[in-house]
Structure 1
Amino acid sequence: MPPSSQAVQAQLGERNVVDAGAEYARQNGLVLAESGEAVRIRPNYWRIRFALPEEGSGKFLELDFDELAQRVTGSRRIDIGPTFMPTSRTSLPSESSPATGGSGPQ
Protein backbone atom coordinates (compact mmCIF):
# COMPACT_ATOMS: atom_id res chain seq x y z
CA MET A 1 0.00 0.00 0.00
CA PRO A 2 1.49 3.38 -0.95
CA PRO A 3 2.13 5.95 1.81
CA SER A 4 -0.60 8.50 2.46
CA SER A 5 -0.33 11.82 0.69
CA GLN A 6 0.03 13.50 4.10
CA ALA A 7 3.09 11.36 4.90
CA VAL A 8 4.61 12.11 1.50
CA GLN A 9 3.99 15.84 1.94
CA ALA A 10 5.62 15.72 5.39
CA GLN A 11 8.71 14.00 3.98
CA LEU A 12 8.96 16.51 1.14
CA GLY A 13 8.57 19.38 3.61
CA GLU A 14 11.31 17.96 5.82
CA ARG A 15 13.65 17.48 2.85
CA ASN A 16 13.04 21.07 1.68
CA VAL A 17 13.73 22.40 5.18
CA VAL A 18 16.98 20.43 5.48
CA ASP A 19 18.07 21.65 2.04
CA ALA A 20 17.32 25.26 3.02
CA GLY A 21 19.31 24.82 6.24
CA ALA A 22 22.28 23.37 4.35
CA GLU A 23 22.17 26.30 1.92
CA TYR A 24 22.14 28.73 4.86
CA ALA A 25 25.22 27.01 6.29
CA ARG A 26 27.05 27.20 2.92
CA GLN A 27 26.21 30.90 2.53
CA ASN A 28 27.68 31.52 5.98
CA GLY A 29 30.90 29.63 5.27
CA LEU A 30 30.09 26.61 7.44
CA VAL A 31 31.16 23.12 6.43
CA LEU A 32 28.75 20.34 7.39
CA ALA A 33 29.80 16.76 8.05
CA GLU A 34 26.59 15.10 6.95
CA SER A 35 23.02 15.67 5.90
CA GLY A 36 20.83 17.31 8.49
CA GLU A 37 17.89 16.08 10.45
CA ALA A 38 14.79 18.24 10.85
CA VAL A 39 12.11 18.04 13.52
CA ARG A 40 8.88 20.01 13.29
CA ILE A 41 8.53 21.69 16.67
CA ARG A 42 5.21 23.36 15.85
CA PRO A 43 3.29 24.09 12.65
CA ASN A 44 5.55 25.73 10.07
CA TYR A 45 8.49 25.89 12.48
CA TRP A 46 11.38 23.43 12.38
CA ARG A 47 14.61 22.71 14.22
CA ILE A 48 17.40 21.40 11.99
CA ARG A 49 20.58 19.77 13.28
CA PHE A 50 23.75 19.17 11.29
CA ALA A 51 26.90 17.44 12.52
CA LEU A 52 30.04 19.54 12.12
CA PRO A 53 33.10 17.93 10.52
CA GLU A 54 35.27 17.33 13.57
CA GLU A 55 34.68 13.54 13.60
CA GLY A 56 33.50 12.29 16.97
CA SER A 57 33.61 15.80 18.39
CA GLY A 58 29.93 15.93 19.28
CA LYS A 59 29.69 19.41 17.74
CA PHE A 60 26.52 20.33 15.90
CA LEU A 61 24.97 23.29 14.15
CA GLU A 62 21.35 23.75 15.16
CA LEU A 63 19.07 26.01 13.16
CA ASP A 64 15.54 27.26 13.76
CA PHE A 65 13.62 27.58 10.50
CA ASP A 66 10.36 29.37 9.71
CA GLU A 67 8.80 27.41 6.84
CA LEU A 68 6.34 30.16 5.86
CA ALA A 69 8.97 32.89 5.70
CA GLN A 70 11.49 30.40 4.22
CA ARG A 71 14.28 31.67 6.44
CA VAL A 72 16.48 30.72 9.35
CA THR A 73 15.36 32.53 12.49
CA GLY A 74 18.10 31.34 14.82
CA SER A 75 21.36 29.40 14.81
CA ARG A 76 23.69 28.05 17.43
CA ARG A 77 26.60 25.67 17.70
CA ILE A 78 26.16 23.05 20.35
CA ASP A 79 28.59 20.59 21.86
CA ILE A 80 26.98 17.34 22.89
CA GLY A 81 29.33 15.27 25.00
CA PRO A 82 29.48 11.47 24.88
CA THR A 83 27.01 11.15 27.78
CA PHE A 84 24.29 13.06 25.91
CA MET A 85 23.75 12.05 22.30
CA PRO A 86 21.37 13.87 19.93
CA THR A 87 17.74 12.84 20.21
CA SER A 88 16.48 10.96 17.22
CA ARG A 89 13.30 12.03 15.49
CA THR A 90 11.54 8.81 16.37
CA SER A 91 11.76 9.45 20.11
CA LEU A 92 10.25 12.92 19.99
CA PRO A 93 6.48 13.42 20.37
CA SER A 94 4.64 13.80 17.10
CA GLU A 95 2.78 16.93 16.09
CA SER A 96 -0.51 15.29 17.09
CA SER A 97 0.81 14.13 20.46
CA PRO A 98 -0.83 15.58 23.56
CA ALA A 99 2.72 16.46 24.70
CA THR A 100 2.94 19.01 21.87
CA GLY A 101 -0.57 20.38 22.26
CA GLY A 102 -2.18 18.02 19.77
CA SER A 103 -5.16 15.85 20.42
CA GLY A 104 -3.39 12.52 19.97
CA PRO A 105 -4.56 9.67 17.73
CA GLN A 106 -8.03 10.12 16.31
Structure 2
Amino acid sequence: MDDQDEVVDPTVTCDRCNAACCRDVPDGTALVSAEDLVRWRRDGRKDILDSLVPGHFSQQGFATHANGTCVHLGITGNAHACSIYETRGEACRALVPGSRQCLTYRRAKLDLAAG
Protein backbone atom coordinates (compact mmCIF):
# COMPACT_ATOMS: atom_id res chain seq x y z
CA MET A 1 0.00 0.00 0.00
CA ASP A 2 1.32 3.42 -0.98
CA ASP A 3 1.53 6.07 1.77
CA GLN A 4 -1.01 8.11 -0.19
CA ASP A 5 -3.50 5.19 0.10
CA GLU A 6 -3.15 4.78 3.87
CA VAL A 7 -6.36 5.81 5.63
CA VAL A 8 -5.58 8.64 8.02
CA ASP A 9 -9.14 9.84 8.67
CA PRO A 10 -11.65 6.98 8.82
CA THR A 11 -14.52 9.43 9.36
CA VAL A 12 -14.32 10.53 5.71
CA THR A 13 -16.66 8.50 3.53
CA CYS A 14 -17.64 8.97 -0.09
CA ASP A 15 -21.36 9.13 0.65
CA ARG A 16 -20.95 12.24 2.84
CA CYS A 17 -18.18 14.06 0.97
CA ASN A 18 -19.13 17.45 -0.41
CA ALA A 19 -15.67 18.17 -1.85
CA ALA A 20 -15.93 14.97 -3.86
CA CYS A 21 -13.60 13.84 -6.58
CA CYS A 22 -16.74 13.36 -8.69
CA ARG A 23 -17.55 17.09 -8.82
CA ASP A 24 -16.24 19.87 -11.01
CA VAL A 25 -14.66 17.51 -13.52
CA PRO A 26 -14.89 17.81 -17.31
CA ASP A 27 -16.61 15.10 -19.35
CA GLY A 28 -14.42 12.05 -19.83
CA THR A 29 -11.78 13.03 -17.27
CA ALA A 30 -12.42 10.04 -14.99
CA LEU A 31 -11.28 7.29 -17.33
CA VAL A 32 -12.53 3.72 -17.25
CA SER A 33 -10.26 0.75 -17.72
CA ALA A 34 -10.57 -2.15 -20.14
CA GLU A 35 -11.31 -4.32 -17.09
CA ASP A 36 -14.17 -2.00 -16.11
CA LEU A 37 -15.66 -2.32 -19.60
CA VAL A 38 -15.37 -6.12 -19.52
CA ARG A 39 -16.98 -6.30 -16.06
CA TRP A 40 -19.87 -4.02 -17.00
CA ARG A 41 -20.51 -5.96 -20.22
CA ARG A 42 -20.41 -9.25 -18.31
CA ASP A 43 -22.77 -7.88 -15.64
CA GLY A 44 -25.18 -6.45 -18.22
CA ARG A 45 -24.63 -2.86 -17.06
CA LYS A 46 -25.79 -1.25 -20.30
CA ASP A 47 -26.80 1.82 -18.26
CA ILE A 48 -23.16 2.45 -17.37
CA LEU A 49 -21.79 1.58 -20.80
CA ASP A 50 -24.30 3.86 -22.53
CA SER A 51 -23.36 6.79 -20.30
CA LEU A 52 -19.64 6.77 -21.18
CA VAL A 53 -18.10 9.52 -23.29
CA PRO A 54 -14.80 9.86 -25.16
CA GLY A 55 -11.95 10.58 -22.76
CA HIS A 56 -8.23 11.22 -22.95
CA PHE A 57 -5.83 8.93 -24.80
CA SER A 58 -8.61 7.36 -26.91
CA GLN A 59 -10.16 5.86 -23.78
CA GLN A 60 -13.68 6.24 -22.48
CA GLY A 61 -14.64 8.12 -19.35
CA PHE A 62 -17.58 9.01 -17.17
CA ALA A 63 -19.92 11.70 -18.42
CA THR A 64 -20.75 14.71 -16.29
CA HIS A 65 -23.75 16.99 -16.00
CA ALA A 66 -23.50 20.64 -17.06
CA ASN A 67 -22.62 21.53 -13.44
CA GLY A 68 -19.57 19.21 -13.55
CA THR A 69 -20.91 16.40 -11.38
CA CYS A 70 -20.60 12.79 -12.47
CA VAL A 71 -23.80 11.44 -13.99
CA HIS A 72 -23.71 8.64 -11.40
CA LEU A 73 -23.57 10.97 -8.41
CA GLY A 74 -26.70 10.99 -6.29
CA ILE A 75 -29.29 8.49 -5.20
CA THR A 76 -32.72 9.01 -3.67
CA GLY A 77 -32.15 10.44 -0.21
CA ASN A 78 -28.42 11.11 -0.63
CA ALA A 79 -27.10 13.58 -3.19
CA HIS A 80 -23.50 12.64 -2.32
CA ALA A 81 -23.80 8.87 -2.83
CA CYS A 82 -22.64 7.10 -5.98
CA SER A 83 -25.38 5.20 -7.77
CA ILE A 84 -22.85 2.65 -9.09
CA TYR A 85 -20.62 2.50 -6.00
CA GLU A 86 -20.50 -1.31 -5.81
CA THR A 87 -19.31 -1.57 -9.41
CA ARG A 88 -17.59 1.83 -9.79
CA GLY A 89 -14.61 2.12 -12.07
CA GLU A 90 -10.99 1.51 -11.16
CA ALA A 91 -10.21 5.24 -11.23
CA CYS A 92 -12.87 5.79 -8.57
CA ARG A 93 -11.70 2.82 -6.49
CA ALA A 94 -8.12 4.08 -6.59
CA LEU A 95 -8.92 7.14 -4.49
CA VAL A 96 -9.25 5.62 -1.01
CA PRO A 97 -11.71 7.54 1.21
CA GLY A 98 -9.90 9.20 4.11
CA SER A 99 -6.45 8.61 2.61
CA ARG A 100 -3.78 11.30 2.37
CA GLN A 101 -4.53 11.65 -1.34
CA CYS A 102 -8.26 12.03 -0.62
CA LEU A 103 -7.68 14.60 2.12
CA THR A 104 -5.29 16.59 -0.07
CA TYR A 105 -7.86 16.60 -2.88
CA ARG A 106 -10.65 17.62 -0.49
CA ARG A 107 -8.58 20.50 0.89
CA ALA A 108 -7.78 21.73 -2.61
CA LYS A 109 -11.43 21.54 -3.69
CA LEU A 110 -12.68 23.27 -0.54
CA ASP A 111 -10.02 25.99 -0.85
CA LEU A 112 -11.11 26.62 -4.45
CA ALA A 113 -14.76 26.74 -3.43
CA ALA A 114 -13.99 29.20 -0.64
CA GLY A 115 -12.51 31.58 -3.17
TM-score by length of 1: 0.24
Greater strand proportion: 1
As a proportion of its length, which structure holds more helix? 2
